[in-house]
Structure 1
Amino acid sequence: MRLEELMNEHYDEFNENDLHILKYVLNHKATSSQMSINQLAEACHTSRSSVHRLTKKLNFAGYSEFKVFLKWESQPAEQESRHTEILTNDIEATMKNLADTNFELLSNKLVSARRIFIYGSGTAQLTCATEAQRLFAVVNTFVTIIHDQVEFETMFPSMSDEDIIIIVSLSGDTPALLPQARKLNAKGIEFISITNLKNNKLAQLSPAAIYVTSSPTATEKGAGLASFIPFHIAIETLIRHFAEYLNV
């Protein structure tokens, strides 16, 4: 589990001072991993006890264990020159992320739901949603796709806390999604977020988060490349676990 994932998991426990320390650590991981607790506290203009309390909130035994974790995280990754190698690494990292996911809990939520919706926040995300709809149909579970913000607002009044929504988002910080996620929480409607592994607001708001790894890269001419293969893998993994849960 990476620091960003830990932050999302414990986000509701943090105060303003905690977030200030975490922001510093995220921006200076390598440096922070070499600091004593007093040095980190000084760099963040806070107290030693504040840093110590934060490590406890993140479920570390103490600062020493947190420091070892940061050293592991700050190890420089090998520079990959080929797009295919980056994709291979992303797929391997995604499989590790998925291995830490409680799919039995997610399957139980899906089985208990009156209706299942899936919402993709862009063209590629909607392709993922369409494939998810097809795979769910194979196990006799029928899913409604929400295609855009207007469709969400149209459907929302008829949704209840017996429904569940799967939201697919590359960044997890799409501005249009966040008010909708808050509306779902306010109405007691659970949703499962599928996002890139980073500290993001959608995962923080989600009662159940699935993480993938999709590293940004670019062609020699500067065109951006973002792979959605890890998202398809996550969706298929979710549905295969769901099928096993149903014993079909």
Structure 2
Amino acid sequence: MFSDKMNKVYNQLNETDLLILSVILRNFEKIPTIGVEELARMCNTSRTSVLRISKKLEFSGYGELRNYIKWEVDKASSNGFASSITPVETETECTISELKNNKQFEEVVEKIISAKRIFIYGTGQAQRNCANEIQRLFMQAGKYMFVIKATAEFQLLSEELNEDDLVFVISLSGEIERFKDALHLLKMKKTAIVSITSFGNNLLAAEADYRLYAVTLPIQMKNNKLHNSFVSFFAIAEFLFRSYLERTELI
């Protein structure tokens, strides 16, 4: 599958590659009819960049990539599967690949085990839903975490935490303007910070002691709104929990 090819070379991809792939996945069924120049315009990038990512995916060129996608679309159609599931599969598989190759993942699990208190701050509603899910998962194992409800509460708590505590911050964009003072105070106090953000360079990840990345491929809807899936964020929550169970011999 196309998602398998992405997963295989994921660690070689840069932000331009991911942008091109997100456009391909959003227009998966149309790609067989889209030429290389048109795709480059859709991605606001160069023809050379499109050809480069084609090579990274082990195709001889864009033509072979396009034919491969046509074959996959035709196969999905004949089997009755909606090709719209491909971006979700790709997000999940690439996030799993990122976690497997992220040496900090096991360190985060160890910090969860050893931390005296654990707090989770989500920067938006979907992020708070993810924070609540992490809290729910670990509660099953008797590991209690506190979900921070608002930025003002985060600021107040940062004044009370210390080096024995652990703080997760979940953000799609990684922008920290609203709570950067709280982050800087935590760093001064040597409180460990774990960021969970979408893949790519961002300010929150730069400030964090440990960085976990969720691969997300935004979808542009016809009403000009951008849809971001949080499936991969919840996948990280599940992997953290299961790794914790294994490490503490609860399974």
| Correspondence 1:210 to 2:212 | yes
Pairing partner for 1:161 from 139, 163, 173: 163
Aligned to 1:107: 109
Where in structure 2 are there 5+ consecutive unaligned residues? 1-10, 16-43, 74-81
Identical aligned residues as a percent: 29
Aligned residue for 1:195, secondary structure, equals: strand
Aligned residue for 2:216, secondary structure, equals: coil
Contact 1:104–1:245 (Cα < 8 Å) also in 2: no
Contact 1:132–1:235 (Cα < 8 Å) also in 2: yes
1:70-118, Cα deviation, whole Å (9 max, x unpaired): x739x97878996432222211211111111233211211112110111
- 1: distance between equivalents of 2:136 and 2:46? 42
Name the amino acid aligned to 2:96. M
When the two chains are superposed, the root-mean-square deviation of aligned CA atoms in Å is 3.1
Aligned residue for 2:97, secondary structure, equals: helix
Contact 2:161–2:186 (Cα < 8 Å) also in 1: no
Contact 1:197–1:212 (Cα < 8 Å) also in 2: yes
Name the amino acid aligned to 1:87. V
Where in structure 1 are there 5+ consecutive unaligned residues? 5-26, 35-67
Aligned residue for 2:159, secondary structure, equals: helix
Contact 2:119–2:145 (Cα < 8 Å) also in 1: yes
- 2: distance between equivalents of 1:217 and 1:179? 33
Cα shift at 1:30: 7.9
Aligned to 2:224: 222
Aligned to 1:118: 120
Pairing partner for 1:152 from 151, 154, 174: 154
Aligned to 2:141: 139
The number of residues matched between the two structures is: 193
Aligned residue for 2:177, secondary structure, equals: coil
TM-score by length of 1: 0.68
Aligned to 1:55: none
- 1: distance between equivalents of 2:47 and 2:164? 45
Contact 2:155–2:181 (Cα < 8 Å) also in 1: no
User: 1:1-248 maps to which residues of 2 (within 5 A)?
Assistant: 1=11, 2-3=13-14, 72=56, 83-102=84-103, 103-248=105-250
1:126-172, Cα deviation, whole Å (9 max, x unpaired): 00011110101111100011111111122122111110011111011
TM-score by length of 2: 0.67
